[in-house]
A and B are shown apart, each in its own frame.
Chain A
């Protein structure tokens, strides 16, 4: 069955610390997509990154970086020099193909990140 595990329920760090959010997935599909979303207290899901299963290159975007390893079925997210504005719930998601021809997301349970000033 498709599954996404975010084992860290809540993480607290002090501002300027680096923090890594873990994501482990299970899928039977050979082609799939992985995502990270940020959900601030306002509730909107903010897209951060999409990674397709054939692209194992790591990616860096400013203070954010992602490490995708198919061998361990992991897609971890690192924030460098964290800031108070990074405080939010972060969701990792896996695409699952539907019989309708499109996809749905399988979400992890989320990691609440608190960055303290």
Chain B
């Protein structure tokens, strides 16, 4: 089945230790999004790729970076995780239109 896959589902990292979260898709969608969802809050868009074009939200901290080496894969890099970065990270894809397809998320814990 075509889908959005996120690995790992759970990630524990140490304060200040760089971490990378992975998202892959078999939908061949040209737009990929990364959202951060903190406990009991709504998902918040960090950035998105439209094909190879990177689009950052104005309030996304510099600590968060992203890479999209090809259509299928997109990575979220957190350069120096702080305790406040503990959250669920959701990847989503879209075929240019309004409907987004979400992956299962990666729950990040920072110790």
Contact = CB atoms under 8 A, between A and B. Distances in A.
Interface of A: 33, 35, 37, 42-45, 47, 50, 52, 91, 95, 98-105, 107-110
A103 B94 contact: yes
Which 4 residue pairs of A and B lie closest in terms of their CB atoms, listed nearest first?
A107-B42, A33-B98, A45-B102, A95-B98
A42 B45 contact: no
Contacts of A100: 48, 50, 53, 55
Contacts of A109: 41-42
30 contacts: A33-B98, A33-B99, A35-B99, A43-B88, A43-B105, A43-B107, A45-B43, A45-B92, A45-B102, A47-B102, A50-B98, A52-B98, A91-B43, A98-B48, A98-B55, A100-B48, A100-B50, A100-B55, A101-B50, A101-B96, A102-B31, A102-B48, A102-B50, A103-B98, A104-B33, A104-B48, A105-B45, A107-B42, A109-B41, A110-B40
Given A45-B102, A103-B94, A91 B42 contact: yes
Contacts, number: 60
A45 B102 CA distance: 6
B108 to A, nearest CB: 12
